[in-house]
Structure 1
Amino acid sequence: MKILLTTLGFSLLIFFNACELKNAQKNFVATDFVADSTFTKGAEGPAVDKSGNVYAVNFAKQGTVGLILPNGKAELFIVLPDGSIGNGIRFSKYGDMYIADYKKHNILKVNMHSKQISVHAHDSSLNQPNDIAIADNGTLFASDPNWSESSGNLWKITTKGEFVLLEDSMGTTNGIEVSHDNSKLFVNESVQRNVWVYDLSDNGEISNKKLFYKFDDFGMDGMR
């Protein structure tokens, strides 16, 4: 009887684990949130505001930012200044939107109430500001890939709008993120498939670089 109960218990455990796995797989089935061709092939940098609205660049045409409401309805939010094309988007804790403008080497700032767009930072020496991350104190960080040479840099953008080079001669820097407690900065290299982690100080300085993870295949883009 003891053996029978043990076998039954083990079988039930396998059954419940299988059910949990099946339910978990259902939770991660991707479906279309907006219709095809709502955004161009250059759709990038999705970010979510406090109300659950999603924003991404290149709505219908290049040089725009689109707004997707929680019900899936998409509409034009803003048109960027002439010649600017966005990539990564982030929100500050105060609700301001920041956009990496890779064409004009800018970090743009958007007032979400007036939709006024201003240049928060500019530096023509960058390859292209690509993805961005933001700390609670408003300090921004930007990846700066050189796709043709499979290389890249890492920058800090101060609250005063100054670009400060943190590290050069890296791999193809792309996705970037600050940890929730603002103590770590994560940066990936798309071509090399590395994810690096740094200790992050209160004033945005990095140290103690370590390889966090290396993928065996495929490439990487933005991180959250």
Structure 2
Amino acid sequence: MKHLPAALLLLASAATFAQEPLYTAKDLTKENMFSSNIEGPNFDKAGNLYVVNFIKDGTIGNISTKNGSGEVFVTLPEGSIANSIQFTSGGNMLLADFKGHNVLKVDMKTRQVSVFAHSGRFNQPNDLCINRKDQVFASDPDWKNSTGQLWRIDKDGKTTLLAENMGTTNGIELSPDEKTLYVNESVQRKVWKFDVDARGNISNKRLFAEFPDHGFDGMKCDKAGNLYLTRYGKGTIVVLSPEGKQLREIALKGKSCSNLVFGGKDGKTVFVTLQDRKCMETFRVEIAGKNF
């Protein structure tokens, strides 16, 4: 059999994607492949998918996007459990270690784990987003007291407290132009937005969206600036325009959706972590994620 030209392969691949229904969830992995703390999916520059707490707490799994199989990529030091994954421009993996009260760094070549940032004022670093200057923004909830903080962590590991006396801060995301920071409060069911200046400082806090029921968890932006927000307990992803208008709500198979990430070759496949099913689901969208 003759090999198809590259252009025809691309067309065949695009045709396959086109046949998939949009906004329709399907399973990527089998159930119970992760602990109940499955969270923080993210891709490295090579397109490898990593997810926290594969098989058990305290691990990072490398998950196949083709067949949903997985293997342990790294096991964290005793006493550490990750909740979020981000990658620096240099390729290092950063982890929000909510149990160890740190942000950890993983050298992807040696798989050595070190403390990237620590503060005695950290509650439980929960979710992370990162800008093109390698500045990290971290949500830091105090679940016991239903309060929270926001931090900026510069590329040298220096920590700066940006906001305190908030509700239970959880999902955090930058707009595509990195001039707006979105932060949600799980218990209070509110999403706030801040202006971000060139130095990474925030100001002008205002309410972006509010819901009467169910919790929130992770959230991500597409290239158009629409915000995909997990409705934890409801089992849906709600899509909000940059103006805060609800564009659609996508039903999942599980209820406890904890986080999501855009991926696939065209950036139009959304990968979702489900804590009740301890697995991952995917669905196709029209607009690629902001990093594509």
> TM-score scaled by structure 2?
0.66
Does residue 108 in structure 1 map to residue 104 in structure 2?
yes
Identity of aligned residues (%): 50
Q: Residue 38 of structure 2 aligns to which amino acid in structure 1? A: A
Q: Are 2:157 and 1:155 aligned?
A: no
1:37-116 alignment to 2 at 5 Å? 37-71=32-66, 72-116=68-112
Determine the structure 2 residue equivalent to 1:208: 204
Is residue 126 from structure 1 mapped to residue 108 from structure 2 by the alignment? Answer: no
Equivalent-residue separation in structure 1 for 2:157 and 2:97 (angstroms):
14
- Are residues 1:30 and 2:22 paired? no
**Unpaired segments ≥5 residues, structure 2:** 1-17, 221-292
Q: Which has the higher helix share?
A: 1
- Pick the structure with more strand per residue: 2
Report the count of equivalent residues: 202
Q: TM-score, normalised by structure 1?
A: 0.85
Taking only aligned residues, the RMSD between alpha carbons, in angstroms, comes to: 1.7
Q: 1:202 to 1:213 in 2, by over 3 A?
A: same
Give 2:110's aligned amino acid: S
- Partners of 2:174 and 2:132 lie apart in 1 by 9
Equivalent of 2:216, from 208, 220, 224?
220
Gaps of 5+ in 1: 1-22
Cα shift at 1:70: 2.2
- 1:184 corresponds, among 166, 180, 184, to 180
Structure 1 or 2, whichever has the larger Rg, is 1
Q: Deviations over 1:40-77 (max 9, x none)?
A: 11111111222332211111111100011221221111
> Do the aligned partners of 1:53 and 1:69 also contact (CA within 8 Å) in 2?
yes
* More contact order relative to length (CA 8 Å, sep ≥ 6): 2
Contact 1:52/1:70, CA 8 A, preserved across alignment: no
Q: Deviations over 1:91-121 (max 9, x none)?
A: 1233221100111111111121221211110
Letter in 2 for 1:174: N
